[in-house]
Structure 1
Amino acid sequence: MTVLLQIHAGLLALLDLGGWVVGVILMLSVLAGAVVLFKLVQFHLAGVGRHAALEDALAVADAGHRARARSLAESAPSHLGPLLALALGSDASARDRLYTLAEARLARLEGGFRLLDAVAQIAPLLGLFGTVLGMIDAFRAMQEAGQNVDPSVLAGGIWVALMTTAAGLAVAMPVSAILSWLEARMAAERRMAETVIEGALVPLAAAPARAVDPREGTDSAAAVHV
């Protein structure tokens, strides 16, 4: 309880020094934090990155056991499992439809990325805006003081102004890093979705055999004759 009171007092002091700009930055940080927590839970429930079961199902399909592979796909912990099961029961004519379904699944997981990107871009700009406003106030106070300018007062006004930039950067940098990590995870999911679709529609067991060069048969026959 004491820690919460200290945090509350610190936030109030920060708002008192930085003004409404810091208040907006803090609200953006809370919003971004909520989105990040939601995405982490969503990724966990969707089984993002859990590709081992999908790879096992594809290996079974390549061996020619499509029914067993479909069963493995349906029980896979990944959100791509149902897509693989559907692809295993389809032919090449369903390729476009499967890609559309995959993109719909991925788009749901990418929801909120634009908001995080907006926070990462707006927070430092708000901080810079607050700094400009603070510098304006500081130099206006210096002008009003005339010859009786107190350097300590001017310095205090400047560091308070710069604090808004620091607050904006403190929010933008971790949000940008987390967004890059989330986007990397989704890029891996998109590659896996393509692997799932193509691997199910064209398994290795169904790959066409290598054409035999007629000259090879002639050479073999000649060798036997000799």
Structure 2
Amino acid sequence: MTSLFLQITTTPADTTSMLADGAETAESSVSLLDLAMAGGWAMIPLLLLSLAAVYIFFERYLTLKKAAKNPDGFSDRIKSMVLAGDINGARMLCAQTNTPVSRMLGKGVSRIGNPLKNIETSIENVGKIEISRLERNLAALATIAGAAPMLGFLGTVTGMIQAFIAIAQAEGSVSPQLLSAGIYQAMVTTATGLMIGLPAYVGYNYLVSKIDNIVHAMEYSSIEFIDLLQEPQL
């Protein structure tokens, strides 16, 4: 037991050496801010792209969340009012609801009395306008999803060129530390571009799926409304 205890006991000199090694490790660690600063000029446009992507996603998310909300029984109330001849009441209800579906049906209600083809055309035109509003800025988000990784790769290429120029101009033998430092600094922009592009791509597809759901609801409501106008003719 005594010999075992002596084997695992560290001397003061060993303790001092371990503390020194720990201090060197702490000093050699690199913070996120240091990495961002090491990325060079490409980090500035990448930062702007990331801010734009965050703004577009949350702005569109809140807009689509509001657009998808239709009061319970809204279509049934419109149908009852139209069948009862309360056109003004149906028009007022659509104006108060203020959603893509209500604005589309409101245009149809305001055209009651015109030929059915004209009513269908008016509803389709409003539907196109509403879809355009829903898709606003989505193209920019898709562009960011594709451009951020490419911009990061461009920053890496330019960083690697600068690193090899520095190595070529260095006198004497090139140390591995110099080579590895140049490479890791250049790779920072690629990693940053991917960290921006991947979430932007996922967010874009998520928003597109929400828009598809809203468009399906608009199409269903318009078909029901046109069928309603055809019922007295049956």
Sort the TM-score into its range (normalised by shorter chain).
0.7 to 0.9
Give, as a single letter, the amino acid of the residue that structure 1 aligns with 2:181: G
1:57 pairs with one of 60, 64, 75: 75
User: Structure 1 residues 109 and 66, CA, compared in 2 at 3 Å: closer, same or farther?
Assistant: farther
Pair member with larger Rg? 2
Give, as a single letter, the amino acid of the residue that structure 1 aligns with 2:195: A
1:101 pairs with one of 126, 140, 151: 126
Match of 1:48 in 2: 67
CA contact (8 A) 2:68 2:214 kept: yes
- CA RMSD of superposed structures (Å): 2.8
- Residue 129 of structure 1: CA displacement? 0.5
Match of 1:23 in 2: 44
Listed one character per residue, the Cα deviations across residues 110-155 of structure 1 (whole Å, up to 9, x for unaligned) are: 1111111111111000100011111112222232336511111111
Runs of at least 5 residues in structure 1 that lack an aligned partner in the other structure: 1-9, 210-226
Give, as a single letter, the amino acid of the residue that structure 2 aligns with 1:48: A
Matched, 1:142 2:167: yes
Give, as a single letter, the amino acid of the residue that structure 2 aligns with 1:36: F
1:34 pairs with one of 42, 52, 55: 55
- Residue 21 of structure 1: CA displacement? 0.3
Aligned partner of residue 111 in structure 1, secondary structure:
coil
- Residue 99 of structure 1: CA displacement? 0.6
- Residue 59 of structure 1: CA displacement? 7.3
Matched, 1:83 2:100: no
Q: How many equivalent residue pairs?
A: 197
- Residue 38 of structure 1: CA displacement? 2.5
Distance (whole Å) between structure 1 residues aligned to residue 68 and residue 230 of structure 2: 26
Give, as a single letter, the amino acid of the residue that structure 2 aligns with 1:114: A
User: Structure 1 residues 164 and 186, CA, compared in 2 at 3 Å: closer, same or farther?
Assistant: same
State the identity %.
24
Match of 1:158 in 2: 183
2:213 pairs with one of 178, 183, 188: 188
Matched, 1:117 2:136: no
Give, as a single letter, the amino acid of the residue that structure 1 aligns with 2:105: L
CA contact (8 A) 1:126 1:168 kept: yes
TM-score by length of 1: 0.74
User: Structure 1 residues 66 and 166, CA, compared in 2 at 3 Å: closer, same or farther?
Assistant: farther
TM-score by length of 2: 0.72
Give, as a single letter, the amino acid of the residue that structure 1 aligns with 2:129: A
Listed one character per residue, the Cα deviations across residues 175-202 of structure 1 (whole Å, up to 9, x for unaligned) are: 1111111111111122222122221111
Distance (whole Å) between structure 2 residues aligned to residue 30 and residue 182 of structure 1: 17
CA contact (8 A) 2:94 2:102 kept: yes
Runs of at least 5 residues in structure 2 that lack an aligned partner in the other structure: 1-30
CA contact (8 A) 1:87 1:98 kept: yes
